[in-house]
């Protein structure tokens, strides 16, 4: 007997279906394109690991591409590329995602391939010994890229006892100790329909997507560091708010004007006026349980102290003055433009659909989001600045010569 599906129309071309076994399916129809982006998000990743198993989610993400019950690694690689499409994956802190971009006619093929690697990987010991070396090289690459490594150190400093502070790739020690049994245990524990979100966007209908999802069995019932580098890399960061919190739009507005581009305060002050850095930018990341916002700067070791002092000064100015008048309207307009441009492609729309389920956020149309940004008041945004941009709130992590001390 076919399962009873609950489908809700979220917007004119956007639908969400919840199946009794827990899997969520979302779609957005874009009849003006000839392609489809489709992906499966597993709601388990590095934030759900034990410290001795750090990196197991990322290693599993690699290993599913080494072969399934039906396909060799080469067949997986050619399955969509031979049709002009692409297949990729990534591991974050909250979810592990497998996604494809194909011509609309190849939607069934794409879902078949993704389902195969997500649900039926072989996870052989012989493949693990080789793929482990790939991941170890990836870890070494991060260690040799200080502007990446400093962010790992920042997460560890922010959340030293919580898995959000773990390195997504793991460490060389933890990855070297992982076994095929560890991967199989994680796969059995996490890679089941009720722990997954399926999202698609492009030239498709929701009904057609549900038929393909059902055909693939997704509705079935279940059971501070010293380093010899030419630069000092510094991150200032603070914990903020979860993904589903509407206040994130106020933080995005602040982050944009603070360090979102060449016209931003940080770029103009630290790079253009003072000449203290080549790379400087602000960032805001939001997760299911918490968020993080801050600033990255790469500078010469001899200038790092002055750069850090100047950045603290800009934090203090933003916290004290906030955003008002023309400065606020400019920042809001910049954010509005970015939000609209970010949803130009089917892939971006697919990501957005999946995030509503992965991060527990209520779906809001683009117009609703734009209205939320437009409605931000000077008092609200200035309140966010006072709370999250206070210099004393920031955790500073530096990486470079002499322990990276600025």
Contact 288, 162 (CB under 8 A): no
Two tokens at 277?
Answer: 């850095």
Map tokens 């290993």 to a residue. Answer: 63
> Does residue 272 have an active-site annotation?
no
Q: What contacts 161, CB < 8 A, 6 or more positions away?
A: none
Q: Is 220 helix (H, G, I), strand (E, B) or coil?
A: coil
Strands (E), 133-184: none
Q: Is 346 helix (H, G, I), strand (E, B) or coil?
A: helix
From 28, 61, 212, 361, the catalytic residue: 61
List the 232-239 sheet strands across, edge first. Answer: 225-226, 395-400, 232-239, 291-299, 279-286
Query: How far is residue 280's CA from residue 262's CA, in Å, rounded to a whole number?
Result: 9
Distances (CA, A) of 356 to 28, 36, 39, 253: 13, 19, 14, 21
Query: How far is residue 231's CA from residue 65's CA, in Å, rounded to a whole number?
Result: 37
Distances (CA, A) of 102 to 40, 88, 300, 401: 15, 12, 45, 46
Find the radius of gyration of the CA atoms of the chain: 23
Give the residue numbers annotated as catalytic, written as ranges.
61
């Amino acid at each position: 007997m076919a399962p009873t599906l609950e489908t809700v129309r979220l917007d004119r071309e956007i639908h969400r279906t919840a199946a009794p076994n827990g899997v969520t399916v979302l779609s957005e129809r874009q009849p003006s394109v000839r392609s489809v982006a489709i992906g499966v998000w597993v709601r388990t990743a590095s934030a759900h690991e034990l410290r001795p198993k750090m990196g197991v989610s990322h290693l599993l993400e690699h290993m599913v591409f080494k072969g399934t019950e039906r396909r060799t690694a080469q067949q997986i690689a050619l399955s969509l590329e031979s049709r002009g499409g692409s297949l990729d994956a990534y591991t974050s802190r909250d979810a592990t995602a497998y996604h494809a971009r194909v011509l609309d006619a190849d939607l069934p093929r794409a879902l078949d391939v993704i389902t195969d690697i997500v649900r039926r990987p072989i996870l052989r010991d012989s493949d693990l010994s080789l793929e482990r070396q790939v991941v170890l090289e990836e870890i070494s690459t991060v260690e040799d890229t200080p502007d990446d490594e400093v962010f790992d150190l920042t997460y560890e400093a922010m959340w030293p006892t919580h898995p959000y502070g773990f390195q997504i790739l793991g460490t060389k020690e933890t990855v070297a100790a992982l076994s095929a049994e560890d991967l199989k245990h994680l796969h059995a524990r996490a890679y089941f329909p009720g722990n997954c979100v399926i999202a698609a966007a492009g030239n498709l209908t929701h009904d057609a997507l549900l038929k393909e999802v059902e055909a693939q069995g997704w509705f079935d019932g279940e059971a501070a560091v010293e380093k010899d580098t030419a630069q000092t890399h510094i991150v200032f960061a603070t914990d903020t708010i979860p993904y589903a919190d509407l206040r994130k739009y106020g933080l995005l507005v602040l982050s944009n004007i603070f360090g979102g581009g060449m016209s931003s305060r940080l770029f103009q002050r630290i790079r253009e006026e003072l000449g203290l850095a080549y790379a400087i930018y602000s960032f805001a990341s939001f997760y299911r349980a918490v968020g993080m916002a801050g600033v990255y700067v790469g500078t010469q070791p001899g200038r790092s102290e002055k750069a850090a002092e100047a950045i603290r000064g800009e934090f203090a100015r933003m916290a004290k003055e906030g955003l008002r008048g023309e400065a606020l309207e400019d920042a809001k307009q910049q954010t509005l433009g970015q939000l609209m441009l970010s949803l130009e492609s089917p892939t971006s729309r697919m990501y957005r659909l999946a995030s509503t389920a992965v991060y527990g956020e209520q779906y809001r149309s683009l117009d609703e989001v734009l209205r939320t940004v437009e409605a931000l008041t000077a008092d609200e945004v200035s309140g966010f600045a006072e709370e999250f941009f206070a210099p004393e709130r920031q955790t500073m992590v530096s990486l470079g010569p002499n322990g990276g001390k600025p």
